[in-house]
């Protein structure tokens, strides 16, 4: 895996998006040598936040230029506060918050991409904002 994906990333001129193995522990310096942006998806509950805070120093150690966290499935102000508190305390840079969105499960049930199911779904709109921020960062 490592050699393969590394070579693909290294050789393409296209904008490349890699859906990685679940954990940063599985990544090697080699795999991510040509990755310029790593997004770590976290959820607003303690074990997920803990996992993310363990991943971020590992990711930094891999020498990736930009490492950002994304808070996903955020349901309400309490969720947001939990993420903010934890991330502030642990120095985690959250670049985007994606709201919990029924459209994602509905799209999955329908067997279609969520952008095709509802291009204006709240989660999709939040991801448009994220895309713009990644481009600008």
Partner 1 sequence: MKIAISGKGGSGKTTISATLARIFAQEGSTVLAIDGDPNPNLGTALGASKAELARLEPLPSSILTEQKSADGTTEMKLSQPIEHVAAEYGVHAPDGITLLLGCRVDHPGAG
Which residues of this chain interact with partner 1, rule CB under 8 A? 1-9, 11-12, 14-24, 27-32, 34-43, 48, 51-52, 55, 59, 64, 70, 72-73, 98, 104, 111-116, 123-124, 127-128, 130-131, 134-135
Q: Cβ 69 to partner 1, closest distance in Å?
A: 9
Cβ–Cβ < 8 Å for 24, 40? yes
**Closest alpha carbon to 24 in 53, 58, 48, 70:** 58
Query: 38 vs 92, which CB is nearer to partner 1?
Result: 38
Q: Cβ 78 to partner 1, closest distance in Å?
A: 19
**Closest alpha carbon to 72 in 21, 17, 123, 125:** 123
Its sign, for the CA torsion 25, 13, 126, 100, is negative
Q: Cβ 73 to partner 1, closest distance in Å?
A: 6
Q: Cβ 95 to partner 1, closest distance in Å?
A: 12
Residue 97: helix, strand or coil by DSSP? strand
Query: 76 vs 116, which CB is nearer to partner 1?
Result: 116
Q: How many residues does the chain have?
A: 137
Query: 21 vs 78, which CB is nearer to partner 1?
Result: 21
Phi, psi of 7 (to 5 degrees): -65, -35
């Amino acid at each position: 895996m490592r050699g393969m994906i590394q070579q693909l990333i290294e050789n393409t001129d296209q904008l490349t998006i890699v859906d990685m193995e679940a954990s940063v522990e599985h990544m090697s310096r080699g795999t991510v040598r040509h990755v310029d942006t790593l997004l770590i998806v976290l959820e607003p509950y303690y074990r997920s936040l803990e996992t993310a805070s363990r991943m971020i120093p590992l990711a930094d150690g891999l020498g990736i230029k930009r490492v950002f966290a994304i808070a996903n499935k955020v349901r309400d102000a309490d969720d947001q506060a939990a993420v903010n508190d934890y991330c502030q305390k642990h120095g985690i840079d959250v670049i985007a918050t994606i709201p919990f969105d029924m459209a994602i499960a509905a799209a999955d049930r329908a067997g279609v991409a969520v952008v095709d199911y509802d291009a204006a779904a709240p989660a999709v709109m939040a991801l448009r904002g994220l895309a713009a921020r990644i481009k600008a960062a």
